[in-house]
């Protein structure tokens, strides 16, 4: 560690992460300080009285005229200030000697976390890499190193928040695959694993969405496995609210997943365009999402990345859950406990903490989506690390009525249950949630926008 003015070293203790390391290094001094305070408050006076001679009370003809004089009163005025100043100075001097070792340890931990974050990002765990880099930034002592890590973290955050991938080197217009049966006409969008095209099945005469695995994902065994896992997950599901998979095609050294085409936008776009939805509409859409989760959970599939951007409009009334690229299958071993995957705004506490997840993690994400549909914002907002800390930290889940007081109490109570930090506090199953939301949607009055015919669902 480069020599720095001691004033600058002390200023580093203002940062909670550095202060925690200092407290560990100076734990003996902390115990010593506690013992010194106990001695001064409880033991000093009795010990002083035991060693100082007591002066007898004045008497007349053998009768005491008052109480004996306390000898400690004669020395209290100078002894206590002297001991307080001296004790604090000695313990403080000992503690200051622990500052530099704490900073050295912070630098070592910083480099370890940064290296682990880079390895995680390189293996495709973008979110976990960003979390580790944030921890490294919090421990960086050297200003230049901190700036470099912050720049790397900004890149990781962008990678976690954005789904952009490099464009395919092949032109989409008119490209033919699967023996010229499928024609790719134009690009629809880009996902975390590849590019999505509008395709036409020339044999059956129908349009479909074709996701092409990106070259970077093909070269990464874990990335390829996630792509295939999405295909396997979707192939097992049969639900009107899950995007249907048609085929998996290997052609010209590239891999394509052919899926049902949803003509509308997604719920994220709806929220951006319209803001929060009426409670009845939020409950109706939530019931459809819960039905999709019910079908997945029945097959032992946990989505693990449910969010508005992964819920597509099939038509003006129907939505479908898509993007099972992070799904956990019942027999899957690719994701171990300790691996963090998902989107920060919708991650269950057990996901944030890298613990094993089950179907209840999807129910938590559904609670986050319902909260956003009802209030127009996710349950937790702020910077990257703030959102992660709020999901994984203690405390009661937020109540949507704090933001929108007109939210029906029954809907607010269900959302709060779904957002329980302890998985055991959430509803028993997606089936129960779907049933409750269906009842709430049926009981809700139609919004004013629907009455005059101007309310629009989906793109």
Catalytic machinery residues: 305
CA atoms of 202 and 127, how far apart (whole Å) = 40
Contact 30, 36 (CB under 8 A): no
Strand partners, 250: 255
Residue tagged 């509008």 (tokens):
198
* 3-state secondary structure string across the chain: CCCCCHHHHHHHHHCHHHHHHHHHHCHHHHHHHHHHHHHHHHHHHHHHHHHCCCECCCEECCEECCCCECCHHHHHHHHHHHHHHHHHHHHHHHHHCCHHHHHHHHHHHHHHHHHHHHHHHHCCCHHHHHHHHHHHHHHCCCHHHHHHHHHHHHHHHHHHHCCCCCCCCCCCCCEEECCCCEEEEEEEEECCCEEEEEEEECCCCEEEEEEEECHHHHCCHHHHHHHHHHHHHHHHCCCCCECCEEEEEEECCEEEEEECCCCCCEHHHHHHHHCCCCHHHHHHHHHHHHHHHHHHHHCCCECCCCCHHHEEECCCCCEEECCCCCCECCCCCCCCCCCCCCCHHHCCHHHHCCCCCCHHHHHHHHHHHHHHHHHCCCCCCCCHHHHHHHHHCCCCCCCHHHCCCCCCHHHHHHHHHHCCCCHHHCCCCHHHHHHHHHHHHHHCCCCHHHHCCCCCCCC
- Indicate if the alpha-carbon torsion angle 334, 337, 340, 341 is positive or negative: positive
Residue bearing tokens 């003809």: 61
Cα separation of 136 and 156, whole Å?
13
Q: Residues near 400 by Cβ (< 8 Å), separated by ≥ 6? A: 371, 374, 375, 407, 411, 412, 415, 416
In 3D, which of 189, 195, 247 has the Cα closest to residue 218? 195
């Amino acid at each position: 560690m480069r020599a720095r003015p001691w004033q600058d070293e002390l200023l580093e203790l203002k940062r909670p992460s550095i202060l925690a390391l200092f407290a560990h290094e100076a734990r003996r001094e902390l115990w010593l300080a506690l013992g010194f305070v106990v001695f001064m408050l409880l033991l000093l006076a009795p010990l002083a009285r035991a060693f100082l001679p007591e002066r007898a009370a004045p008497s007349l003809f053998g009768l005491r005229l008052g109480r004996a004089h306390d000898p400690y009163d004669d020395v209290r005025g100078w002894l206590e200030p002297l001991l307080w100043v001296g004790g604090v100075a000695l313990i403080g001097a000992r503690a200051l000697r622990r500052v530099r070792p704490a900073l050295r340890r912070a630098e070592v931990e910083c480099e370890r976390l940064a290296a682990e974050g880079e390895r995680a990002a390189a293996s495709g765990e973008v979110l976990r890499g960003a979390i580790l880099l944030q921890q490294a930034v919090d421990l960086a002592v050297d200003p230049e190193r901190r700036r470099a890590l912050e720049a790397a973290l900004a890149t990781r955050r962008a990678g976690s928040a954005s789904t952009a991938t490099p464009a395919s080197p092949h032109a989409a217009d008119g490209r033919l695959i699967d023996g010229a049966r499928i024609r790719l006409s134009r690009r629809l969008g880009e996902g975390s694993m590849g590019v999505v095209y509008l395709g036409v099945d020339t044999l059956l005469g129908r349009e479909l969405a074709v996701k092409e695995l990106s070259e970077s994902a093909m070269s990464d065994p874990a990335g390829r496995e996630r792509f295939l896992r999405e295909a396997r997950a979707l192939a097992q599901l049969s639900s009107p609210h899950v995007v249907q998979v048609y085929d998996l095609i290997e052609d010209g050294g590239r891999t394509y997943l052919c899926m049902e085409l949803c003509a509308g936008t997604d719920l994220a776009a709806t929220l951006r365009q319209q803001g929060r939805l009426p409670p009845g509409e939020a409950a109706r859409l939530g019931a459809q999402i819960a039905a999709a989760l019910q079908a997945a959970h029945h097959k032992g599939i946990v989505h693990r990345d449910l969010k508005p951007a992964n819920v597509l409009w099939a038509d003006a009334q129907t939505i479908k859950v898509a993007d099972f690229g992070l799904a956990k299958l019942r027999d899957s071993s690719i994701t171990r406990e300790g691996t963090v995957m998902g989107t920060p705004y919708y991650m269950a506490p057990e996901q944030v903490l890298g613990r094993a997840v089950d179907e209840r993690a999807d129910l938590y994400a559904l609670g986050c989506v319902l909260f956003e549909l009802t209030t127009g914002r996710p349950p937790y907002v702020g910077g990257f690390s703030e959102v992660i800390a709020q999901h994984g930290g203690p405390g009661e889940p937020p109540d949507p009525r704090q933001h929108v007081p007109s939210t029906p109490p029954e809907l607010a109570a269900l959302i709060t249950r779904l957002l329980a930090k302890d998985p055991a506090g959430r509803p028993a199953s997606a089936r129960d949630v779907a049933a409750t939301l269906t009842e709430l949607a049926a009981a809700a009055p139609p919004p004013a926008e629907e009455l005059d015919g101007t309310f629009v669902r989906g793109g």
